[in-house]
Amino acid sequence: MVVGLVAAAALPVTIVLAEVRRLFDLSYAAAAAPVALFGGMLAIALARRGRLRIERTLGRVGGGASAAAGRALGVIGVLAAVAAAIAVVTYVVLGRFANDVSPL
């Protein structure tokens, strides 16, 4: 669950640091996207592993809620990373077209 929390919080925390605290430019916040992506994928894999362990022991080890929460946070992290990638690509493409547009 901790890995999923890190994955889900990576992008929002960097955006807050960029916008509110002015520690760096917002464009550098995109560097947190790989952290969110790989952390989310790892959280999903760990949650699956935990669920299999719970099934194998017939629920005696517990942790079903923690595995579900970790999986949900991992999915949020992956989706946030995909959204950040789309935003960065859009920013780059629009930046290139802004220089090529001539007034009519």
User: Which pLDDT tens digit goes with each residue over 34-72?
Assistant: 999 999 999 999 999 999 999 999 888 888 999 999 999
What is the residue-averaged pLDDT of the chain? Answer: 90
Predicted confidence (pLDDT) at residue 84 exceeds the cutoff of 80:
yes
Closest CA to 43 of 14, 15, 5: 5
Enclosing domain of residue 10: 2-100
What gap in Å lies between CA 71 and CA 48, rounded to an integer? 8
pLDDT 10s digits, 24-38: 888 888 889 999 999
Handedness of CA 24, 26, 30, 32 (dihedral sign): positive
Q: What are the residue ranges of helices labelled H in the chain?
A: 2-19, 33-56, 64-100
Residue 22 burial by Cβ neighbours in a 10 Å radius (0-12, 13-18, 19+): exposed
Confidence bin at 80 (pLDDT 50/70/90): very high
pLDDT average, residue stretch 64-84: 95
Handedness of CA 38, 23, 2, 7 (dihedral sign): negative
Report how many domains make up the chain.
1
